[in-house]
Amino acid sequence: MEDELVVEEIITKFLLNTCRLRPQLTLPAGQAALCCYVVDSVPLLRAGKEPEDREAARIPLITGSVAEFSIEPMIEHVGDIDVMYHFNTHLAIPQGHPPPTQLPDEFHNYVKVFEIIDSHLPGYVYLELSYLLTECIDDGKYNAVEYDGGIYVFNVNHVSDEYVHGPARIAILLPRDPKQLSYDLVRCFRCLVWPTQAADWSTRHRNYDWPDSATVDRVISNGCDVVGVAHRQCKQHKRMGKRQWRLSFSRAEIVLINSWMPVQQITYHLLRVFVKTERLTESADNSEAGTEQLSH
């Protein structure tokens, strides 16, 4: 027992001494910034034609390990660059929620609003076109026109399956550079409101008072995203396989993990490496970008 404690102390000391705080700019962080620039600046093309709307834009968000961790361990914790992006002409809202009258400046003056409709599987939803928002020049507020309904967004990725990983499209910006990481590009729909499917998260009982109320408020205020991937049981279904989407809490996870102390981040990183290398869970075999559900 005493020997085990000594070994434990040695390992703990080694991990704390070799895991430094991440520098302000790392190679993965620089590559992620480059990817965001490309996502934001490349024209929106459809079937090789002119851009469908020259004013429409993609709004990128760096997620995954690059955004989550403030540590830099000896065991590499960044395997690829995860970037989500949403169109500034599209918005998702919870079913039954009134359409917004004001939007952040990043949004277009014409915005299609899609209601998040529950499926029979927790966390998996459909997106139904419900409103068209038009910005009023006089006061900057949006007026809503209601659609009849029945129009659902397809989640189909128009690329070969070998370049698709869950909801992500895999790309390499500089294929000849051996240091260049691959990118998981995930199209999403931005939801500015915390979803009703996770309404009880903020009021859950927490044994160790984490996260604190300020962190909870920040998570809730960030809303969520909806990414295009069907549940594995529904992928072969003619309709559900093309129309099913999944709630993503990547924004919440960035806030939560960044609220941890370095020791907590080191522990989480080691557990994650162990699970992946030992392949202890089904998710290790079928991991999908953005699958993370909020932890207790």
Q: What would the 3-class secondary structure string for 227-275 be?
A: ECCCCCCCCCCCCHHHHCEEEECHHHHHHHHHCCCHHHHHHHHHHHHHH
Question: Tens digit of pLDDT for each residue in 67-116?
Answer: 777 667 666 655 677 888 999 999 999 999 999 999 999 999 999 999 99
What is the average pLDDT value for the chain, to the nearest integer?
79
Could you give the residue ranges of the DSSP H alpha helices within the chain?
2-18, 27-41, 64-68, 213-221, 240-243, 250-258, 262-278, 282-285
Residue 150's contacts (CB-CB under 8 Å, 6 or more residues apart) are 128
pLDDT at 277 over 70: yes
pLDDT at 4 over 60: yes
Q: How confident is the model at residue 215 (pLDDT cuts 50, 70, 90)?
A: very high
Bridge partners of 171? Answer: 183
Range in 139-143, 159-163, 222-226, 264-268 with the lowest mean pLDDT: 159-163
pLDDT at 246 over 70: yes
Residue, of 100 and 182, whose pLDDT is higher: 100
pLDDT at 286 over 90: no
Question: Tens digit of pLDDT for each residue in 27-67?
Answer: 566 666 666 656 666 654 443 444 445 567 889 888 887 77
Token representation of residue 102: 């004001």
pLDDT at 290 over 90: no
Q: What pLDDT was estimated at residue 292?
A: 43
The pTM of the full predicted model, rounded to 2 decimals, is 0.77
pLDDT at 24 over 60: no
- Averaged pLDDT for residues 181-188: 81
Peptide bond into 51 cis (omega under 30): no
Structural contact between residues 93 and 196, judged by C-beta atoms closer than 8 angstroms: no
Q: What pLDDT was estimated at residue 238?
A: 86
- Distance of CA 36 to CAs 192, 205, 229, 235, 273, Å? 21, 38, 22, 29, 27
